[in-house]
Homo-oligomer: A and B are copies of this chain.
């Protein structure tokens, strides 16, 4: 069977174009058990950019003892030179020390990683939600003063492995605090993949009532329960235009039982191509990139599109 794309047709309930926020090099690779060489990481980012992904989160300036996989953050950016910098090459920074290292590396954009729940804040950040907001305040202030673009992740927006259901009002409060710090964009994270489409719409409605419109929001779904694409389409129908995805479906949350990762960028792009929604991404070049990376990682891509188009 030839590689065939579905008919391209305009969809009247979806936006005409979206921004894919590629998280594979950071959120994807940070969950890989074996260390990937910085040259491979830099090559991945170059190939993703070549496939048309405009926004790529390149790495994280987290404490190397927490995430050894990303201990080479400065080295990856050094290899990339100008290709790894600018407002569309954000890096994750957990705290002021991380920001110092990021500024030293000359980045043009950062992301901070907040939590909607107390338990995950304690486990992931070692402090309460309020304390983490206090920790982020100088990070965001200094980043804005340096002219950087700032994103804030909000994890556990739809459920928490320890707390179970997470009330929408609690998520809205966390989002409001992060926006009040001055962040440009929020990314609503379904860290353990339990969201369903009605829940997504309900949260977006509540955020709008709290003064946070869809123009400031990205969505970040994991495919643990097979719902990532359906949830993304629900968010797009509600006006969201920024979608986090990881090439080849890399990644996963180390706290969730299943190894299932992020929404695969290929599966998202296939859906958008079919709906006539512009992404700027060349699906063939992206699939080639994921096949190459799967070879480097020594295991097949979990993306359904990658597997279907390459006979995997």
> Interface of A with B (CB < 8 Å)?
1-2, 4, 6-7, 9-11, 14, 158-159, 161, 164-165, 192-199, 202, 223-227, 229-230, 233-234, 255-258, 260, 264, 267, 270-271, 273-276, 303-305, 307-309, 311-312
Contact between B226 and A257, CB atoms less than 8 A apart: no
Secondary structure of the A side of the interface? loop
> Cβ of A197 and Cβ of B312 under 8 Å apart?
no
A264→B226 contact, CB < 8 A: yes
Tell me how far the C-beta of A261 lies from the nearest C-beta in chain B, rounded to whole angstroms.
11
State which of B195, B257, B275 has its C-beta within 8 Å of the C-beta of A308: B257
Copies of this chain, how many? Answer: 2
Taking the closest CB of chain B, its distance from the CB of A246, in whole angstroms, is 13
Residues of B within 8 A of A257 (CB): 1, 308-309, 311
Q: How far is the CB of A197 from chain B (nearest CB, A)?
A: 6
Among B4, B196, B197, B305, point to the contact of A226 (Cβ < 8 A).
B305
- Provide 5 A-B residue pairs closer than 8 Å at the C-beta atoms, listed in order of the A residue: A198-B275, A223-B304, A224-B308, A258-B308, A258-B312
Q: Report Cα–Cα, A307/B259, bound state, in Å.
A: 9
Chain B residues with CB below 8 A from A4, complex form: 159, 161, 164-165, 194
